[in-house]
A and B are shown apart, each in its own frame.
Chain A
């Protein structure tokens, strides 16, 4: 049986969550591995959310927001982008492949792109394999 990763998605309310809805309304199939959490803006994604997700056994985390310049709150996505860069360094330090964390821009009208992103990221994480027993070090790195 192939490994089916569990992926947490943090989707901003205005662009990516709506983009995901549009993918649904348009019946564009995608891998069932992504489970979405709605936040108002990617700027709300606290680094500890990401670390906690890995700690709880997620194999990958996707953060998806509005395109640069299009954030409903002007620049939350830029903040998110910076945090992701830092987080990837932290993950690397903890021995977690930084490719397990990805940030993407999907607008409310990009249902197809949403499905594509989900499929691509799922394939990538599937290739990386399960995130084994990294809970302790990740939590430690967070402190």
Chain B
């Protein structure tokens, strides 16, 4: 170092530096600095003679270090390093002092600028003395490339890069390539049809063997470095396989239509669709958003949205079949399901949820009335294992059904004479006609399930006998029985009965008639059912409930029905004592209640009102309160702990009990719940038992357990069409037609008579199709090549590539933000792309220009610069609007009789053929008004005769305020960065300019590279531009990438960290600090080691090492201390 001989070269840069900095003085000063052998100033150091000057000095004076005071090192560091290298001096022994960008260009005061330049030169000279030779190393470059975004830029680059014969990955998040250009009708100024010039390229790119099209794909992460990146790409499920022939049969049967994003929401498309006729890949795709909430809420995952949509299309048979496929107790559910689906229905956000349950009932009733056979799903190959199911309630029946479908030999044991468990004994016939239940149980029997009645678990059979008889697994679904748990005096009297026992007696026909006067105590479904059943048996009935109507757990409609039928309900009343004579009930003494603060369950606690006691004379007291599972027999059997509300301990996830071959589910585990929840348990248990019997782990269930509703709602994310709810016309729910209260109270026939076809269709059409795809599986049914795959899932792939080109394009400014133009508020105000779709012959109006009311407009206004060149939104010019506005004018003139008015600020016709085009359109008679439109309003008064809308503006050429009546307004909305540009910026560690577009390496000289080596940009993601510029930039970027591919390797900057083992204390602080995990600990030597290939040279570890053991090549502590000394020497 001490013998270093430094040459200092101060550049004038013409007058760029010399005008502000006294370069000669700087050179003279430099000569006085330690170890400086020579200091010169020269007009252009970067020129050939300038470089040669340095080289000669190196040769003649034996310089060992060089300082060039000139422009930014980002500009010419490489130039001077190379010059030194050529003269035999290691390039890293040359240091740049930036006295142009950091000095002469930003300071006006010559004296101050010169002083600063001196300091910068002194710093460089003092630093360079500590430089050591560094060697650039080379790493192989992966010749594969990735292009993100497959609009015209991406396609063009892909075609260019394909010529190398190397792999090109073209990643597109849409289902088709083509980008915005595919939506355009004609292109300015030549008016060639966009599709005609684009689609051949799209097809061509799809034919290249080495171009891999990844549609529906998005980049999630990038790791590695230039030459060896690994890009993580998520490929969203298409739900259609490569077998698709694009015949389109699926779209014909799809019952769901949603607005088409390709047509800018002006047209509609089906859930299974192809974005447009020439889409590439030429295959259909299913749009699925969040799964429909109704389906998610159903413990059986019944495709509620699916059959509702089918009913809406009058496909009643298909609807019934769809229901039946997943639900063996379909009619039962259509009657008595608690329908959690309706609670989650998004239509409820508009006015009321869709009557999903009534529609289900309708479909099944329709099928029965029309003699449609509803075949069960296909049965899997026979399994010899025998499975026992205890209890034939909803949980047991569904488990039996599912296991039989999986091929198992299933026997169901039922303790009563009647099959169906609670369905048969607990639910009165006026809610669930017995023949329906029997019919559906017959379906299950038809699958080969043996159903044995009168067998009581714990008596005739036990786990031991079952195992002995060869049953390999047992499912306990014994349900519950309510135990009267009240310590009410008089409960022992004859004429006191529990609610469920009463219902069982009624349902099994074992009750003595007449009952006399009946009092039912309770507010749940059982209480209401019992009251209504007693009424039907001819008794006057009083229902006592200790809280108010609002707290009543029974379903509201059922309570209304009961009241209508004649049940006298007394709220806020609680029993105190059952009165009797001669061992028989004679009355019920009760007390009035009032509601105090909430109790532990959150409900308001009833408190007796002193002195309010009275007696209700009666002959029968039905206690329908508080239910508990009937656990006696299970406890005796041993092995099952009683856990609070769960009388049988089973894993709530797997339904498995402590004994691995015994499973349990339904009310016996969960406590009293609903029919459909029990069915869900049965389904889950069947899956668990199948896994158990097949020796698979009890994980990865395809059925899910539905969490409590309020929790599910918390997680619910509305789908992307949700904002449209506000616009959804209100349509109230179809009421269920029902028999007269008096008529129905006289028998056990059904209350509701079911929807008519018209009602059902009307009700079904209220569905908002919120998952978009409703999983009705109609497409699957009609697809001949069997390409539909609803179960498809996303795939995440790690793709190794050497270089990446971002061609992610732009989005349109949301013209709603410029509220004065009425976009989104006034019906015939459109933005440019919408109008583009309207005039496209393949668009929603087949190319006809029509107002929303279907009439041809008399005049159209085209407003330039909406969101562009506007201080409030974007200051930049979007560059294409003037020309496409003229194109619109031409097309309107060409195809309609309408007048066209252009409202412009300046007409920018800068491109090839643009000015000529402008002239031509003027000649065609387009009116141009110079002035930015102030606002668009609905026409009123005399102007309304000439147009529905009025554009107001100041005409700056004639200096007058003008009001122009038109029927249609087209807004030339600004091009702006994609909404997720920032996310991509982070992923690729590149930068954005203040306007949000990706930042190029140099605004003039390097428009396709970024500051991150190996990442390039092209097209509108870099800034607004037209198609020719986009294509040129894409080709340019591709050429850059090809150059690297041809070279085959990347130079690795020697600026990297290394650890001096002798100084390392082994503290490992650096190990976790490195963002690239490039530092590992060598256990043998007890020191940390930097993996050179992974280090990117940030120097964070160097700064953090407490022992000073890490050296950052090119930025050592010594070098920076020396730089500081020089910097502050002046």
> Which A residues lie at the B interface, using CB under 8 A?
4, 6, 8, 14-15, 17-18, 20-21, 23-25, 27-30, 32, 35-41, 43-49, 52-53, 56-58, 69-70, 72-76, 79, 83, 107-110, 115
Contact = CB atoms under 8 A, between A and B. Distances in A.
A56 B1129 CA distance: 8
B112 interface: yes
B763 interface: no
Q: Please name the 3 residue pairs, one residue from A and one from B, whose CB atoms are nearest each other, closest first.
A: A24-B101, A44-B1099, A43-B1100
5 contacts: A8-B1127, A27-B106, A32-B109, A48-B1117, A109-B992
Contact of B1128 (A8, A29, A41, A74): A8
A28 B108 CA distance: 11
**Which of A32, A41, A52 counts the most chain B CB atoms within 10 A?**
A32
A143 to B, nearest CB: 13
B106 A52 contact: no
B1124 A53 contact: yes
B1117 A46 contact: yes
B989 interface: yes
Interface stretch (B113-121, B403-411, B707-715): B113-121
Contact of B1120 (A4, A20, A37): A37
Contacts of A28: 106
Contacts of A40: 1055, 1097-1099, 1112, 1115
Interface of B: 72-74, 98, 100-103, 105-109, 112-113, 115-116, 119-120, 123, 985-986, 989, 991-994, 999, 1003, 1011-1012, 1055, 1073, 1075-1076, 1096-1100, 1102-1104, 1112, 1115, 1117, 1120-1121, 1123-1125, 1127-1128
Contact of B1011 (A4, A14, A58, A75): A14
Contacts of A37: 123, 1120, 1123-1124, 1127
A39 B1115 contact: yes
B552 to A, nearest CB: 54
Nearest to B1012: A72
Contacts of A74: 989, 1075
A36 B100 CA distance: 13
Given A29-B107, A72-B989, A79 B1128 contact: no
In this complex, the member of B103, B991, B1012, B1100 whose beta carbon has the largest number of chain A beta carbons within 10 angstroms is B1100
A57 B1130 CA distance: 10
Contacts of A70: 985-986, 989, 991
Contacts of A18: 74, 991, 1011
A54 B993 CA distance: 34
B119 A35 contact: yes
A68 to B, nearest CB: 11
Contacts of B105: 24-25, 27
A106 B108 CA distance: 23
Contact of A44 (B73, B994, B1112): B1112
A85 to B, nearest CB: 15
Contact of A108 (B991, B1097, B1104): B991
Nearest to A27: B105
Given A24-B106, A37-B123, A107-B991, A45 B1103 contact: yes
A6 B999 contact: no
B993 A109 contact: yes
B116 A35 contact: yes
Contacts of A72: 989, 1011-1012, 1098
Contacts of A43: 1098-1100, 1103
A90 to B, nearest CB: 15
B116 A20 contact: no
A56 B1124 contact: yes
Contacts of B103: 32
Given A35-B123, A40-B1098, A76-B1098, A58 B1128 contact: yes
Contact of B101 (A25, A47, A107): A25
A56 B1125 contact: yes
Contacts of B1120: 37, 39, 46, 49
Nearest to B122: A35
A32 B107 contact: yes
A101 B992 CA distance: 28
Contact of B1100 (A15, A44, A47): A44
A79 B1099 CA distance: 11
A38 B97 CA distance: 10
Contacts of B1011: 14, 18, 72, 108
B1107 to A, nearest CB: 13
A32 B112 contact: yes
Given A32-B109, A72-B1012, A73-B1100, A38 B1127 contact: no
A18 B986 CA distance: 18
A108 B999 contact: yes
B439 to A, nearest CB: 63
Contacts of A83: 1103
Contacts of A110: 994
A125 to B, nearest CB: 14
B106 A29 contact: yes
B17 to A, nearest CB: 11
B1103 A20 contact: no
A52 B1121 contact: yes
A35 B1127 CA distance: 7
A43 B994 CA distance: 24
A23 B103 CA distance: 10
A70 B990 CA distance: 8
- Most B-side CB within 10 Å, residue of A15, A21, A49, A57: A21
A48 B1007 CA distance: 39
Most buried by A among B986, B993, B1075, B1076: B1075
Nearest to B1125: A56
Given A6-B1128, A56-B1125, A56-B1128, A36 B98 contact: yes
Most chain B beta-carbon contacts within 10 A, residue among A6, A83, A115: A6
Given A24-B100, A70-B991, A108-B1011, A41 B1098 contact: yes
Contacts of B107: 29-30, 32
Highest count of chain A CB atoms <10 Å: which of B72, B1112, B1125: B72
A36 B72 CA distance: 12
Given A28-B106, A36-B102, A76 B1100 contact: yes
A24 B72 contact: yes
Nearest to A46: B1103
Nearest to B74: A21
Given A6-B119, A40-B1055, 13 more contacts: A18-B991, A21-B72, A24-B100, A27-B105, A28-B106, A32-B109, A41-B1100, A46-B1120, A49-B1121, A53-B1128, A57-B1128, A109-B991, A109-B992
A27 B100 CA distance: 10
Nearest to B993: A109
A24 B1117 contact: no
A19 B722 CA distance: 42
Given A24-B105, A35-B119, A35-B120, A46 B1102 contact: yes
